[in-house]
Structure 1
Amino acid sequence: MSTEGLSIGIRVGAGRTGERANLIRPVRLRRETWMPLVVDATAIMLAGLDVWLVIPEKAQPYSLYLSALACLALAFRRWLPFVVVLATVPGFLTGWSQLAAMIALGMLATRKQTHWQVWLGAALVWAGRFIQWPLPDFAQLSWREHAIDAIYGVLVAGMPIAIGLLIGARAELAQRLGELAVSREAERRLRDDAVRAEERARLAREMHDMVSHDITLIAMQAGALAVTPGTDDAQRTAQVIRQLSTRTLEDLRSLVGLLRSGAGDEGPQPGIGELGQLVRDSEVRVRLSLEKVPEQLPRNVSAAAYRTVQECLTNVRKHAPGAAATVLVVGGENTLTVEVSNDRPRSPAAPLPSGGHGLTGLAERARLLGGGFDTEPTEDGGFRVRATYPVEVVGNKPTTNGQEMAHP
């Protein structure tokens, strides 16, 4: 928390990805809306062009009407594929709507695959290609011409079915691949959970076997020193050491229990309600101010606010001896802001071990909660930390403004 500390500034932009997705999604929706219309219009135009190119000059009016009806019926092929196939057969039999009948049969095969409607539709389309209209002309054809018409009928009816079955198989394959990807993702999560559980158990064993033993010895030695005749300052210092080591041991045991159970943050954690006790137990002159703090806060947000103040006061004690600190907790519109600042140190800081991970951990915690985290030196030689967390404001509770709390 001193000016020599590492300044960390993190701006969380978690909402930008969601905003970008919201900008893209309407474009995709509009594409899904107009793309089928374009495809249907193109199919109708191609079917109509096919009729117009092959129609003779002296055509019967009913054949023209039935061919036009077959082309227009393609507009409903997505909703009534079998009915559309039936509507195109008369135009194909008595007229020239061959392409319309093939398009309708292809859509039916895509939707129904090997359903009986597909085979009935294929038989009708084959009959429309095999039978010549009018029937007296069909009866006069030779057997060779009948054989050729039968072969071409198989091609005309078989090609749309083959394409429809291929499209359906591709869609089914894509669905199976999606299900396989989901299954693999679930398997990967289970494997990761197992690895994390094993790592938590290993960390719990090491923390219990190594750290817990040393802290217990510290508490015992401090207790013995407190009852040993000596100066009052030495006894008070020993009592403080014993209290801090005992509390640290309790926290460590609670953490080991959480690691073994894998419950994460589900266990009891201190929150904003314990800030007063935290300030009283700190060896720093602290001015604590709570303004418009909601009555009910999410447990993870309350715990994050507590940990932020705890880490900052620890840094003040370590890196800014003699400095006074100010803790300001303000509830805003769907936000909770925690600001901790200190003035310049009154004496040089003693060299203490520090990995620089405290502020980084606070910034990571704020990022995971969707908030923000900033640090900066102040003009008077101090340091300031500000964390913001998103919350849902339920109500306000009485606040403590300008409350002086200092360690005795």
Structure 2
Amino acid sequence: MGRSAVQDTILVATLIALNVFVAFWSGFPREEHPRFGPWAGLGLQVVVVVVLVVRRVWPLFVLGVATVSAVLMSLSVWLVPGLLVTSVDGSGVWVPLAAPFAAYSAVVYSSRPRGAWVLTGVLTLVATRLWELSFAVAASGVLLTAVPALLGMYVAARRGLIVALTERAERAEREQFLLAERARAEERVRLAGEMHDVVTHRVSLMVLQAGALRVVSSDERVRAEAEGLRAAGCQALEELRDLVGVLRSPESAVGLVGGVGDEGGVGVGDWGLSVLVEESRAVGVEVVLSESGDRSVSSPVVARTAYRIVQEALTNVRKHAPGSGVRVEVRYEADRVRLRVRNSAPTAVVDRELASSGSGSGLKGLRQRVELVGGTFESGPRPDGGFHVKSVLPSYVPTTVTWIRSDSGSDNGTQSASAGTAFNE
């Protein structure tokens, strides 16, 4: 039972008790019409009170019942004294005690205010009995009928004003949100332009210089290293192109986040963790990869996330732990993927310039990415001076669900979930 129903029930019970008290207090029962008289008046009052239960649903019907009852009470005084009204000395107000609540409800809840005011006018006319002008009766009649209706008009106007202000506030909030979205879109486009102009220019120069070194060098080892540097630069340009596209159009992030196996994405076959391991080995990092289980059970989004975790971990090893050995363990289970990357303590001098490069938010971005797919992530130093990264990912995550969840988060979380390369320092 709702709050309104409880209030109406209490109101009905109170008015019924009040009607019984008034009937006995005014001399009930009387000798006139001993068979029907006082009982008929009390029954009519109770009927009008019980009808108040539906005053919020059918307010005009309730007011109509109260008005008809008032007319019948007035007629009974002249035609059958003592039948419906116990006091027939002319000083009483011959309307039901439920009339004020009926008039108030009709003005507040009715969708046809004109009909409500017509019935209220008839009820007020019967209550004041202007054909028998009496100040006490007229004042009492207005107080019991017109004043509740005016109060209802005030409440209805106040409710309408509150609704209008609420709608205006919601509209302003929506407009503000749209303006913020537009500002974010413009900022993304600006960032995309900056990245394209600055980063692409520098990386392109590195690729060209590496290619030139490969051509002019007579040392086969130098030529091989130059070719590896040129290939890495080309791959960086390809990933940067994807990221710039995400910044310009967030919708393209769906393909980037879940585009495992697609063009420019990360696959679970040749273009997977083994590629990262070989790249690290090529620059002198001892990496051991251990994979167990069926890789095909993991969804594209999970494979992409695992790839980024290993990529970030190996990047951090190259920057912060030169000379250390790394072990990458991946176990594919029926319902989850367990991933762990451990490295030993560094044995070489850390390059301060290389270590200080980046934003320092790579692990934080990884945690956000893992949480977006419903996984767990932990990282920290080891007792032997090394470092470890551990994550447990669900085997299957729909791409669309991941994108929706990332879009509902914070701005940093959205961009991190949208662009996998943004997690790297």
Shared topology, TM-score over 0.5?
yes
Pick which of 53-62 and 102-111 moved more: 53-62
SS in 1 for 2:98: helix
Match of 1:87 in 2: 65
* Unmatched 5+ stretches in structure 1: 1-32, 132-140, 395-408
Match of 1:10 in 2: none
Matched, 1:255 2:243: yes
How much does 1:192 deviate? 1.3
CA contact (8 A) 1:340 1:385 kept: yes
For residues 388-399 of structure 1, the aligned pairs below 5 Å read: 388-389=392-393, 392=396
SS in 2 for 1:278: helix
Amino acid of the residue matched to residue 358 of structure 1?
A: G
Match of 2:133 in 1: 144
Amino acid of the residue matched to residue 313 of structure 2?
A: C
SS in 1 for 2:360: coil
Alpha-carbon distance between aligned partners in 2 of 1:47 and 1:260, rounded to the nearest angstrom: 68
Alpha-carbon distance between aligned partners in 1 of 2:234 and 2:39, rounded to the nearest angstrom: 102
How much does 1:244 deviate? 0.8
Match of 1:134 in 2: none
Matched, 1:297 2:261: no
How much does 1:243 deviate? 1.0
Q: 1:144 to 1:101 in 2, by over 3 A?
A: closer
For residues 8-407 of structure 1, the aligned pairs below 5 Å read: 33-55=1-23, 56-59=26-29, 60-89=38-67, 92=70, 93=73, 94-95=84-85, 98-112=96-110, 114-130=112-128, 143-145=132-134, 148-263=136-251, 265-268=253-256, 269=259, 270-271=265-266, 273=268, 274-276=271-273, 277-283=275-281, 284=285, 285-289=287-291, 291=293, 295=297, 297=299, 299=301, 301-320=302-321, 321-328=323-330, 330=332, 333=335, 337-351=338-352, 352=354, 353-354=356-357, 355-369=359-373, 371-389=375-393, 392=396
In the superposition, the TM-score normalised over structure 1's length comes to: 0.74
Alpha-carbon distance between aligned partners in 2 of 1:243 and 1:380, rounded to the nearest angstrom: 35
CA contact (8 A) 1:51 1:97 kept: no
SS in 2 for 1:99: coil
Alpha-carbon distance between aligned partners in 2 of 1:200 and 1:160, rounded to the nearest angstrom: 59
Does 1 or 2 have the higher relative contact order (CA < 8 Å, sep 6+)? 1
In the superposition, the TM-score normalised over structure 2's length comes to: 0.72
SS in 2 for 1:289: strand
Amino acid of the residue matched to residue 57 of structure 1?
A: G
Alpha-carbon distance between aligned partners in 2 of 1:386 and 1:332, rounded to the nearest angstrom: 19
Deviations 1:184-217 (A, max 9, x none): 2221122112222222222222222221111111
Alpha-carbon distance between aligned partners in 2 of 1:182 and 1:57, rounded to the nearest angstrom: 59
SS in 1 for 2:216: coil
CA contact (8 A) 1:67 1:88 kept: no
Q: 1:296 to 1:182 in 2, by over 3 A?
A: farther
Deviations 1:7-42 (A, max 9, x none): xxxxxxxxxxxxxxxxxxxxxxxxxx3422331122
Identity %: 31
Amino acid of the residue matched to residue 50 of structure 2?
A: L
Alpha-carbon distance between aligned partners in 1 of 2:288 and 2:205, rounded to the nearest angstrom: 31
SS in 2 for 1:384: strand
CA contact (8 A) 1:323 1:346 kept: no
Q: Over the residues paired in the alignment, what is the CA RMSD in angstroms?
A: 3.1
Amino acid of the residue matched to residue 58 of structure 1?
A: F
How much does 1:219 deviate? 0.8
Q: 1:34 to 1:256 in 2, by over 3 A?
A: closer
Q: 1:143 to 1:120 in 2, by over 3 A?
A: closer
